[in-house]
Every structure is written in C-alpha cells, then in structure tokens.
Amino acid sequence: MRLPDRVVLRDVSPRDGLQSEPVTLSTERKLELIDGLAHAGVSRIEAVSVVHPKLVPQLADAEAVMANLTRRAYCRYAVLVPNIKGAQRAVTMNPDEITVFLSASETHNWKNVHRSITDSLQELQTVCDMSRAHHVPPSAVIVASFGCPYEGEVPTSVVVDLAYRLFGMGVREITLGDTVGVANPKKVQAIFSQLRQDIPGLNLGGHFHDNRGTALVNMLAAIDVGITLFDTALGGIGGSPFSPGAGGNLATEDAVYMLEESGVATGINLEALLALGDRLEEWVGHPLPSRVRRARGRMVPVGPEGYVHD
Amino acid sequence: MRLPDRVVLRDVSPRDGLQSEPVTLSTERKLELIDGLAHAGVSRIEAVSVVHPKLVPQLADAEAVMANLTRRAYCRYAVLVPNIKGAQRAVTMNPDEITVFLSASETHNWKNVHRSITDSLQELQTVCDMSRAHHVPPSAVIVASFGCPYEGEVPTSVVVDLAYRLFGMGVREITLGDTVGVANPKKVQAIFSQLRQDIPGLNLGGHFHDNRGTALVNMLAAIDVGITLFDTALGGIGGSPFSPGAGGNLATEDAVYMLEESGVATGINLEALLALGDRLEEWVGHPLPSRVRRARGRMVPVGPEGYVHD
C-alpha cells in the first residue's frame, strides 16, 4: 500500500453539509464555521453555492458570506456553480475556484439539474470559459461516478468519457463523487487507475459519502493508487436530509485522524476541528456523525477493572 | 492493493458482543443468534466464554448454550477461556476451538486478568496443553496489540515477542486485538508484515474495534499484507458497555458488504445477516451501530427531485 507524505482535504461542510440541514445558519455563524476551518489548517473550503434560493434556502446568503470572509492566504475558497446564471453570480464574489458538476447517469442528471448530460456539458463549457475569463480555475465533480440510485451500475467507460470531455474544455481537476455511498475499494481503484493512465495531467479527487461506512476505506483505496485530494465535511454532515447521520460526507476529523496517525500530513489540527465541531453541533441541534468526534480524539479509557476486553 | 479471493470472518457477537450489553439474553435467544449466524454462512463463531459468572453474568449459561447448539459441519464453534479453571469447564463442552488471550501491555493484562504477562504465559501454556490433549486447537488473541489505554503506545517488538512465545507453546493461530480502536493502517501493515516475515507458518487474524471508525480501513490494510482472518460482530455490537454504539466491533454486515462488493468472497449472505440483526436489535433494545444495516444493504433512493446532490 502506498501512503503519500501529504494529502489535501477540501472541506465541503459549509456547502454540501449545510444544504442538508433543516436549519439555516446565520451568515455570521457560516463565517465562523468557514474561518474556523481555515484556522484549523484547512487549505481548501467549498464555502457557498449559488443554487437558486428556492431550491436551497439554507445557502441563500452566498454573496454576504463570500464578501465578509476573512481570507487567509494559504486557503482557497470555492463557490459551487450549477449553471450559467449561477456563474454570473459567482464571478462577482471573487472566489479562488469555481466548482462545476454533472452526473455520470442521465437520470440522476435530470433529477438533479433538470437537463440532459449533453446539455450539461454545453452549459459547463460556458461556465468554465466564464470562470477562466475571471482567472478562476474551474474544478469539476462527476456526480454518481460509482453508482446511481436510479440506474444502478455506472460503467467506468461513461466516467472516463465525461472526464475526457471536461479535460477537453480546459478542466484540469476532476473529483469523482460517490453520491449515495455505493463505491467499494476495488471499483475505486479501477476507475482512478484508468483515469490516471488515460488522462495524465489531470488532478483527481474523491468525494465519498458514508451511507455504508465505506468512505474512509474508499479514501484509503484511492490513496493507494495515487489520489491525494479528498472532499470531507466537518463532523461528517451532509447527504440526504431525510436520514440524518446515515449518509453524510466523510468526516474531516475522521480523515485527519486516520491520515495523521498513519504518518500522512494533512496540515490540519484535529483538536481545533473537535472544538469547531462542538459549535457546529450546537448550531445544527443534533449530534454529528463523526466517529473520532465521539471518541474525542486519540485515546479513551477502557471499562472498569476486571472487565474482560479483547 | 492486494485483494484475495476469500476472507474468513469469525463472528464474536455471541461472546464479545453480548458481554457488553446490559441485558442478558436467554439461552434460547443465544442459540437463535448462533444458529442464525451459521445459517447465514458464518464458518467460525465465538459462541461463549467461561469467564466467572460474577464478572460476566451475561454469559453464565455457557454450558447450556454449547450443549444445545445445532452443530453445522462447516462451522467451528469456539469457547473463550481466560484461565485454567475456565479451560476445565471448556473441555467438557466439546468446542471446535478454544480461544485464549493475554494483553500486550502489562497494565492492561493486570486490569483484565489480574496477573502479570509472565504469569499469563505460564497459565496459557497449561491451557493450550489441556486444549490439545482434548484435540481442540487453541487460538490466541493478543489484546491491545496496537495501543493500550493505560500505557499508550505498544512497541511492535513486544507483540512480536509474545507471538514467538505463543508459537513456542504450539499456538498456530494468533489474532491481534485493537481493543480500544487506536490502530491505523500504517501500524497494522507494519506489525502484520513483520509477524508474517518472522514467524512463517503462523496463521494471523485481526480484531478491530471501531471506536474511531477505523475498523474497516484497518481490515483493508491488513488484507493488503496478506491477512485473511478477521473477527467481526453482528450489528457491530461489543466494546465498552458504557458508550453504546461508539466502541463496538467491526460489524459483520459492514465487512461482508465491503468485501463482497470488492469481489472478495466471505461465504456469508448479507440479507440473512440483516434479518438476524432485526431480531438482535429487538433483543438488546437499541439500534445496532452497523452502517450497512442502517442503509439496509446495497442501494437507497436519493432525496426529492431537484435536490442538488454531489
């Protein structure tokens, strides 16, 4: 197994996380969350999205959030952009990067952004052109890369083809999303290995949801084939708002703990994440799913004397 | 990453799991659990322990359980034995194997079995001799192999030395226990690789608790260096009874799901495990921590239309 010296974690809790919570945080709290992440050492943060406020009212204050950020030099703040209209808003916010996305399955793309994959690709071309015209590098996510809840299996060839198309429109960073947590180590290694072989010069990332407890193991499998960029969310929030705790993102705390303990640097301070998680937990009003959070870090005392452990 | 064709899971829920539950199941229900596991295809089950009933009242009916088992030819039923007194009980039960254990840390061994490691080794020699005299192969667990809650780091050399000592007394199978869930992939690979190199002919297993959500990733890391035997527990029960859900064993369902999806055969039927888990959940009176259980298997529907997923 190959373990690199360093892995980059992009925390998506302010966007992918908060959009799944029934409560809407105030702009002030969002800023506290984002700056808390940066303060803990997170170097990439998906700060906001510019999805229509009717669809995702929790993130309606994107402009206010981006305008009032304490920008740290070592941190890149991203805006998630679903379409051209969103891009027009995003470029006014001075983001460090713009994240675009489309699904690897036709049905999922229709349900998600109400258009075909072909139409999405055309729209993404315009968005990427706008992004670069403002000197902002676009980063793409291929959603449902490892399986679709409507169509089931997603052929690797479909993902590779989409990656080629995105590369052709100038995208140099693509993240594969395991939207409903159905990836497994074997499939993860197969897809990433093929993409690395087929499209050298493409920076690849993994975005694993934890519906079946496999997010961490899929990250390790991806690391083993050379991937060093992963989306995570503070506390493991995110995913479907209808099954809290069951389908969140890989928790940033859990990724940091496992990596740092294995000698892989993340640049992120675990204690600072745990403290920030205390505040987030209070704000969202329920326990966060992160496992390391529940264990409060590295070591806990065992049970009473005389209790048989093994 | 190396993935084998097959991995053997030893389900320890009837012992390591139930001893951590505040409720005591009836003998009848224990038999239903054990036979349900075998029926699902589990080929090794830690069925009972013969610890003093005052210490672990939940497992006081060990004789009745072992006497009334429906023995399946493909399944091996183990008895966990803490000392010579226990071995005297165990050999009357006609077990297929006897599991012995000691800790890799002096303090943990004192707290756990009230004697020094040196005294434990001496006692284990007698237990192993008794076991073999009854044609029952002993299997050993080195508890706290990856870290001790009292002493902290456990040097690899200590674990290797204990493994040598056990090998010297005729033990041919040793499982390394991550008692409080502090193992990490790097350490797992380092210890198992060294043991495989130093003591060829020794069958090695991993027993990972999930306090920090790392049980599955540690299993994968061990598999990558050639380990193919793992302890798991139905539903992920086990661990400290004072932090339910937080420190259980690797859930058998979660291991089976990840392995089978990755093309590694376990011989175990996931649907049968989920159905058996329904009953166990009812008996213990609280949700089981298994993640695959919460997702009810392979695929779940996503949120409502128009909801932005990635």
Q: How is residue B251 written in tokens? A: 């859930």
Please identify which residue in the block is written with the tokens 């675009």: A100
**Closest residue by Cα to residue B105 from B145, B140, B157:** B145
pLDDT, tens only, B138-162: 999 999 999 988 888 899 999 999 9
Decide: helix, strand or coil at residue A8: strand
pLDDT for residue A241? 47
* Domain A8-295 falls under CATH 3.30.1950.10: no
* pLDDT over 80 (residue A63): yes
Per-chain mean pLDDT for chain B: 92
pLDDT for residue B149? 84
pLDDT, tens only, A105-145: 999 999 888 999 999 999 999 999 999 999 999 999 999 99
* pLDDT over 60 (residue B238): yes
Chain B residue nearest residue A223, CA to CA: B1
* Cβ contact B308–A112 (<8 Å): yes
* pLDDT over 80 (residue B309): no
Give the integer Cα–Cα distance in Å for A295 and A270. 12
Q: Which of A37-51, A103-117, B71-85, B289-303 has the lowest mean pLDDT?
A: B289-303
**Closest residue by Cα to residue B309 from A83, A21, A113:** A113
Q: Which of A44-48, A94-98, A242-246, B281-285 has the lowest mean pLDDT?
A: A242-246
* B19 interfacial to chain A (CB closer than 8 Å): yes
Which positions in chain A touch B180 (Cβ < 8 Å)? 299-300, 302, 309
* B133 interfacial to chain A (CB closer than 8 Å): no
pLDDT for residue B306? 37
Which positions in chain A touch B185 (Cβ < 8 Å)? 1, 3, 220, 258, 262
* Cα–Cα separations (whole angstroms), residue B14 to A305, B59, B77, B78: 22, 9, 11, 10
* pLDDT over 70 (residue A297): no
Tell me which residue in B180, B184, B303 faces A302 most closely, judged by beta carbons: B180
pLDDT for residue A299? 57
In this prediction, what percent of chain B has a pLDDT beyond 70?
93
Q: Which helix (H) or strand (E) holds A47?
A: strand A44-49
pLDDT for residue A151? 87
* B218 interfacial to chain A (CB closer than 8 Å): no
What letter would DSSP give residue B139?
E
pLDDT for residue A298? 62
Distance from CA of B193 to the nearest CA of A (A): 12
* pLDDT over 90 (residue A180): no
pLDDT for residue B244? 38
Using CB atoms and an 8 Å cut-off, which of residues 160-199 of chain B contact chain A?
Answer: 177, 179-182, 184-187, 189
Decide which of B23 and B301 is more confident.
B23
- Provide ipTM, 2 decimals: 0.91
pLDDT for residue B111? 87
Give the integer Cα–Cα distance in Å for A179 and A117. 17
* A213 interfacial to chain B (CB closer than 8 Å): yes
Confidence of residue B103 (pLDDT cuts 50, 70, 90): very high
Stretch A81-110: mean pLDDT: 96
* pLDDT over 90 (residue A98): yes
pLDDT for residue B302? 47
* pLDDT over 70 (residue A91): yes
- Sequence letter at residue B304: P
A93 neighbors A67 (Cβ within 8 angstroms): yes
* pLDDT over 70 (residue A214): yes
Which positions in chain B touch A298 (Cβ < 8 Å)? 182
